């Protein structure tokens, strides 16, 4: 489908879904964003739903301003995936051992490494710039500098919520490795610090929603936020790269006889800010639950822990600010999912997947998410499908 414009707002809201299907609270969030005087444009992806700070599935382009709460607390959250030389025939019938080995190598939930992972010891890991990255930690906000040791131990860990590690098989029978995570607790603490600063600034006092407080270009507060924001985005990228390295090492050991070969890793943020130019205007683009889909850009759009995912290639649609959805998107809250579904429902909806099937992950049940195939269909003018994956192992935090 092409987009639909929502009328009656200061800046047009371009929606790649039927506005009538969007929950009222999410539509109000979008209208609030559209009222901001710094807004250049707003595009809405088909996985849109109510979010904290700003609507998930929104692409917010601003001139000379950025909203830290729109980025959210998991700065740089995103996906990584890699195609392997394995096929479905190489996988054992019982995948529980493989899942266990992954969980042993990569801490999940609130877990962390006892000692920071040395990237130089990971097969083929590109550690260039690693020391410089950590040296730049000295420049982040004073309020979080005491977290350095924990941040180093959490580098290469999954976290909880909707983060996951998966072994998948594509429609041709080829095995892929995929994972979803972000900047862990250090990103959260940096975000919360700067959101508090933004809310206190005079120019934000009259906003319809204080969560939409912004930093203005060429101010000390903006400069401080940009420095911490881009560092945290880099942390998230390194975090996924380190996990993927650990993941690949597990697979190499478990399938040693096959001498596994890996393609180039695909990686993309979906909660982040980028400096881009549209209509001859330099803007700060916040993708809140959206990936960059510039012409030729590879991206990953996951469904849920039982429905599979898509590897896509961007078509460079500037009306969407070169963006696409970041997933299927929730159709009900975590609280509502826990009230509606049982562990029996979870087991039924994840049949054939080696994964947790306990009450701790009922809120991640496939039934709580939108139909990923329909979401992909709604953005045919944003991306083209490269591969359709179905998970056979799913590790949750």
Is 123 annotated to bind ligand?
A: no
Is 329 annotated to bind ligand?
A: yes
Is 74 annotated to bind ligand?
A: yes
Q: What was the pLDDT predicted at 127?
A: 83
Is 46 annotated to bind ligand?
A: no
Q: Which residues pair with 231 in a beta bridge?
A: none
Is 32 annotated to bind ligand?
A: no
Confidence of residue 171 (pLDDT cuts 50, 70, 90): very high
Is 326 annotated to bind ligand?
A: yes
Q: Which residue has the tokens 């039982």?
A: 306
| Phi, psi for residue 22 in degrees, rounded to 5 | -90, 130
Q: Which residue, among 158, 356, 111, 124, has the nearest Cα to 248 in the 3D structure?
A: 124
Whether pLDDT at 232 is above 70: yes
CA dist 343 and 346 (Å) reads 5
CA dist 150 and 115 (Å) reads 10
Q: Which helix (H) or strand (E) holds 334?
A: helix 334-340
In 3-state terms, what secondary structure has residue 169? strand
Is 297 annotated to bind ligand?
A: no
Quote the mean pLDDT of the chain.
96
In 3-state terms, what secondary structure has residue 226? helix
The 10s digit of each residue's pLDDT in 147-158 is 999 999 999 999
pTM (two decimals): 0.96
For the segment 162-185, the average pLDDT, to the nearest whole number, is 97
Is 94 annotated to bind ligand?
A: no
Is 180 annotated to bind ligand?
A: yes
Residue 326 catalytic?
yes
* Catalytic choice (49, 269, 326, 388): 326
Which residues fall within 8 angstroms of residue 21, CB to CB, at 6 or more apart?
Answer: none
**Domains parsed from the chain with CATH numbers:** 4-331+369-396 (3.90.1860.10)
Whether pLDDT at 200 is above 90: yes
CA dist 129 and 354 (Å) reads 37
Whether pLDDT at 22 is above 90: yes
Q: What was the pLDDT predicted at 1?
A: 59
Q: Count CA atoms closer than 13 A to 5's CA, side-chain side.
A: 8
Whether pLDDT at 2 is above 90: no
Q: Evaluate whether 159 touches 184 at the Cβ level (below 8 Å).
A: yes
Confidence of residue 54 (pLDDT cuts 50, 70, 90): very high
**Rounded to whole angstroms, what are the CA distances from 284 to 60, 139, 322?**
8, 22, 13
CA dist 34 and 372 (Å) reads 27
């Amino acid at each position: 489908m092409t987009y639909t414009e929502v009328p009656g707002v200061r800046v047009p809201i371009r929606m790649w879904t039927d506005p009538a299907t969007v929950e009222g609270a999410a539509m109000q969030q979008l209208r609030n964003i559209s009222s901001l005087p710094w807004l250049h444009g707003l595009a809405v992806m088909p996985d849109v739903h109510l979010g904290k700070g700003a609507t998930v599935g929104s692409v917010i382009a601003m001139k000379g301003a950025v909203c830290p709460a729109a980025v959210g607390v998991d700065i740089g959250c995103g996906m990584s995936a890699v195609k392997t030389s394995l096929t479905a025939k190489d996988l054992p019938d019982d995948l529980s051992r493989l899942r266990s080995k992954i969980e042993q190598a990569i801490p999940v939930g609130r877990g962390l490494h006892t000692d920071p992972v040395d990237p130089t010891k990971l097969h083929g890991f590109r550690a260039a710039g690693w020391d410089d990255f950590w040296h730049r930690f000295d420049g982040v906000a004073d309020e979080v500098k005491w977290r350095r040791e924990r941040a180093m131990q959490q580098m290469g860990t999954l976290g909880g919520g909707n983060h996951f590690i998966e072994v998948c098989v594509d429609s041709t029978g080829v095995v892929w490795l995929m994972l979803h995570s972000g900047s862990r607790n250090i990103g959260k603490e940096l975000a919360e610090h700067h959101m508090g600063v933004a809310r206190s600034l005079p120019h934000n006092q009259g906003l319809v929603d204080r969560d939409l407080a912004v930093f203005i270009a060429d101010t000390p507060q903006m400069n401080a936020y940009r420095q911490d924001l881009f560092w945290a985005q880099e942390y998230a990228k390194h975090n996924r790269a380190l996990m993927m390295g650990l993941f690949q090492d597990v697979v190499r050991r478990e399938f040693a006889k096959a001498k596994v070969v890996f393609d180039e890793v695909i990686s993309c943020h979906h909660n982040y800010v980028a400096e881009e130019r549209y209509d001859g205007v330099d803007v700060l683009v916040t993708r809140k639950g959206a990936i960059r889909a510039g012409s030729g850009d590879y991206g990953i759009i996951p469904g849920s822990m039982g429905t599979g995912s898509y590897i896509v290639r961007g078509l460079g649609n500037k009306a969407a600010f070169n963006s696409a959805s970041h997933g299927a998107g929730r159709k009900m809250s975590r609280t509502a999912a826990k009230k509606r579904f049982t562990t029996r429902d979870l087991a039924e909806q994840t049949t054939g997947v080696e994964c947790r099937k306990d009450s701790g992950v009922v809120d991640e049940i496939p039934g709580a998410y939108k139909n990923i195939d329909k979401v992909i269909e709604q953005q045919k003018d944003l991306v083209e499908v490269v591969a359709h994956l179905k998970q056979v192992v799913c590790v949750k935090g």
